[in-house]
Amino acid sequence: MWHDALLVAGKDLRIEARSRVATNQVAPFALVVLVLFGFALDPDRGVLSRASAGLFWVAVLMSSLLAVQRSFAVEAGDVTGDGLRLSGLDPAGIFLGKAAAVAAQLAALQVVLAAGVVVLYDADLGGPALLLATCAAATVGLAAAGTVYGALAAGLRVRETLLPLLLLPVVAPVLLGATRAWEAAMGLSVDDGWRWAQLLAVFAVVYVTLGVVAFGALLEES
Amino acid sequence: MAPVVRFRSAVALLGRFPALSGVDLSVEPGEIVLLQGANGAGKTTLLRACAGLVPLVSGDAEVLGCDLRADRRSVRRRVGLLGHTGSLYDDLGAEDNVRFAVRAAGGDAAAVAPALARLGIDGRLRSTAVGRLSTGQRRRVALAALVARSPALWLLDEPHAGLDAAGRDLLDDLVRAAVAGGATVVLASHEADRASALAGRTVTMAGGRVQVRESFHVA
């Protein structure tokens, strides 16, 4: 399983490195989202600063949709997913590999977006341990849930429009938990941020487990 | 010796449409079998079923000793299906594509370079993104992946399509070499003359079934 996961992750990251879709399209899209929020809330920079955690995670969430869609759009075959099915790879390994590749892209994107909220929103990114733990747990959760629902939608003609409809409600707890944890780390709320980070970790564990167990069936039915 | 492919009254549905409506077929080890029939006869579905990609709703099917009704996955590493698009990643280079296919099947990565050379994918072409190659070149890369994987059962869907004359001759040589090496080949083709010369037996399909009459070719 781990060998197959490394193989798939390496393949997906090599595809992204060569096509540069993540750097030339997904990252600029996320930055444009930040800038547009900036325009919408421009008259009061205090609001932008206070809302920076939520706006950051909304941008991450929207970008994760693109990353997940891309992850399945690149799959080869006469029928979507044929290449993966025919490869004979362990479905759990395929899931872990694809989720890891999406997670790596989201992690890189978050570095860019973090710089964006500091520059554009004048955000103060204090509490680095909580910020990083939140990012790690939320990224794994988003990548795992995205990969599960990406596989579910992959074989459908309406996958581009269906995936957001399926995925966004499911990852709403990630948006909520990550925003609350970041607000606590940035000193914008008195909540216990670590409890929110724990919620994110539970979400991640649930979806990684679900993906490992169910991805084979999802791949066959897609 | 047990047949490599054995279908008995196999039925497969695409949606509600019976793409295979009671297929009976037996292919012995080392055979080259040509599937013929009009568009929609079920040739591609039969090849995909042999590769474990299409679920069977009734009947019996065994490929390389694997019961496809019970487990469709285990046969996949041992078959090679050359479909219309060749299962290639457009953004990866030819060499990366073939290496991924070989490593995924648990094969030896040392087979990649000789396979690419055999198919004439040399020099700059090896690292060129497959999406930038011509149809014929893409076909050659897909064939290189098949050669490098060296599966026990080759399933070829219109394998001559998109290849130039030299490429077609090379494909025929590769198929004969694979059979000489112990593989079995089932191919679907509308190019009757060339494919018949290659095959030892022709099976005609219509309406998702194998017609009763089969023609045998004398080598």
What pLDDT, on the 0 to 100 scale, is given for residue B217? 62
Domain positions in chain A are: 2-221
Residue A48: strand, helix, or coil = helix
Query: Is the minimum CB–CB distance between B63 and chain A shorter than 8 Å?
Result: no
When CB atoms are compared, the residue of B72, B83, B105 closest to A78 is B83
What pLDDT, on the 0 to 100 scale, is given for residue B109? 86
Q: What is the dihedral of CA B161, B162, B166, B172, to 10 degrees?
A: -30
pLDDT per 10-residue tile (average), chain B, 219 residues:
88 84 88 89 90 90 89 88 82 92 87 91 88 89 92 91 86 91 90 83 86 61
What pLDDT, on the 0 to 100 scale, is given for residue B90? 87
Q: For B81, which residue in chain A has the nearest alpha carbon?
A: A86
What pLDDT, on the 0 to 100 scale, is given for residue A152? 84
Contact A92, A55 (CB under 8 A): no
What pLDDT, on the 0 to 100 scale, is given for residue B215? 64
Alpha-carbon gap, residue A105 to A143, rounded angstroms: 10
Residues of chain A with pLDDT under 70: 43-45, 76-81, 155-157, 222
Q: Kindly tell me the burial class for residue B218, based on how many C-beta atoms sit within 10 Å of its own C-beta (0-12, 13-18, 19 or more).
A: exposed
Query: Is the minimum CB–CB distance between B109 and chain A shorter than 8 Å?
Result: no
What pLDDT, on the 0 to 100 scale, is given for residue A77? 53
CB contact under 8 A, B105 and A15: no
Q: Which residues 143-202 of chain B have a CB within 8 Å of chain A?
A: none
What pLDDT, on the 0 to 100 scale, is given for residue A79? 55
Contacts with B101 from chain A: Cβ below 8 Å: 87
Alpha-carbon gap, residue A213 to A220, rounded angstroms: 13
Query: Is the minimum CB–CB distance between B81 and chain A shorter than 8 Å?
Result: yes
What pLDDT, on the 0 to 100 scale, is given for residue A78? 54
Contact B199, B32 (CB under 8 A): yes
What pLDDT, on the 0 to 100 scale, is given for residue A48? 83
Q: What is the largest CA-CA distance in chain B?
A: 49
pTM for this model (two decimals)? 0.86
When CB atoms are compared, the residue of B72, B88, B93 closest to A76 is B88
Q: For A21, which residue in chain B has the nearest alpha carbon?
A: B91
Check: complex ipTM more than 0.85: no
How many CB atoms neighbour CB A180 within 10 A? 24
CB pairs under 8 A between A and B: 65
Question: Which domains does chain B carry?
Answer: 5-89+150-216 (3.40.50.300)
List C-alpha distances in Å: B155 to A10, A39, B47, B159, B178. Answer: 28, 57, 6, 9, 12
What pLDDT, on the 0 to 100 scale, is given for residue A44? 65
CB contact under 8 A, B53 and A82: yes
